[in-house]
Amino acid sequence: MIIKVNARFCKGCNICVAFCPKQVLALDSMGKVCVVDESACIGCGQCELRCPDFAIRINKEEKA
């Protein structure tokens, strides 16, 4: 899985972090979402689905 985060759209609501079952996401020092362990992502899509600002996209294709 490839997780793409658009920090400009992120308002730091923490919803994606709370719903991630594998703790792949966290808030950085600026209060924006960041990926801390992409290899742990199971591709459930909860972060993308729950983000009210459309700041997260998951590409379910294999990494190159």
Residue 64 included in any domain: no
Residues across the chain: 64
* Residue 63 pLDDT: 55
Domain count, the chain: 1
pLDDT in tens, 29-55: 999 999 999 999 999 999 999 999 999
- Residue range of the domain that includes 9: 2-59
Ramachandran assignment for 2, one of left (phi > 0), alpha (psi -120 to 50 degrees), beta (any other): beta
Q: Are 34 and 25 in contact (CB under 8 A)?
A: yes
Residue 48 included in any domain: yes
Where residue 25 sits, what CATH number does that domain have? 3.30.70.20
Q: Is the pLDDT of residue 19 over 80?
A: yes
